[in-house]
Amino acid sequence: MRKQGFSLIEIICVFCLMGILLALSFPLEQHFFENSKMDMIQSQLLNEIQWARSAAIIQGQPIFLCGSVNQKNCSDQWKDGFLMYSHEKIIDYVKNPFTHGTLYFRSFPVHQPYLNFFPSGIDNMQNGTFWYCESRASHPRWAIMLSQSGRARVVRTDGIHRNIVDSQQRVLECAN
């Protein structure tokens, strides 16, 4: 006659299998959270760029977007946060979303450490590129490229080709 229930050996085997599966899934889960954080940072910057452009059109005045270390003044360092302002007031400030990497910015044909959207939505007749590098990485994971018309697009590495090239055909690199 068989009793109902599980033996101690059966329960231990089930818990061992669950532990092994949990241990195997942890690296995948960590990779998923890292990718989610990267997507959030990219979306936050892209939204801020699009908001600055829209604000310039709606308010009918120039809107500036720049890196800032103190939430009050512009600097050429975007890694500590960024500031959106008009000639009259500060509109928004995003504080250091880049905790595990560095954000770089390059504009051309004239180097300016900021974006200036005119009331028409055009970005001061310049192209520009933002790119984000994780700590200790040699190549960026993504870039946001701005056209002279002020429109932004996201470029990602495809896993095979690790290089991202800007509009001037220069490879974007991470400074280690």
Residue extents of the structural domains in the chain: 10-156
Contact 128, 107 (CB under 8 A): yes
User: Which of 51, 41, 159, 164 is closest to 115 using CA atoms?
Assistant: 51
Structure tokens at 90: 């500060």
175 Cβ neighbours under 8 A, 6+ residues apart: 102, 104, 133
Q: CA 83, CA 66: separation in Å to the nearest integer?
A: 5
Contact 154, 46 (CB under 8 A): yes
Torsion of CA 132, 135, 136, 137, to 10 degrees: -30
Complete edge-to-edge strand list for the sheet that includes strand 152-156: 101-108, 127-134, 142-146, 152-156
129 Cβ neighbours under 8 A, 6+ residues apart: 105, 106, 107, 143, 144, 145, 146, 166, 167, 172
> Which pLDDT does position 2 carry in this prediction?
61
Q: Which pTM value belongs to this model? A: 0.77
The topology (CATH level 3) of 10-156 is minor pseudopilin epsh fold (3.55.40)
**Which DSSP state fits 113?**
S
pLDDT tens track, the chain, 176 positions: 566 778 889 889 999 999 888 888 777 777 667 777 778 888 888 999 999 999 999 999 999 999 888 888 888 888 788 899 998 899 888 887 666 788 888 888 778 888 899 999 888 778 889 988 888 878 888 899 998 888 899 988 766 667 888 877 888 888 75
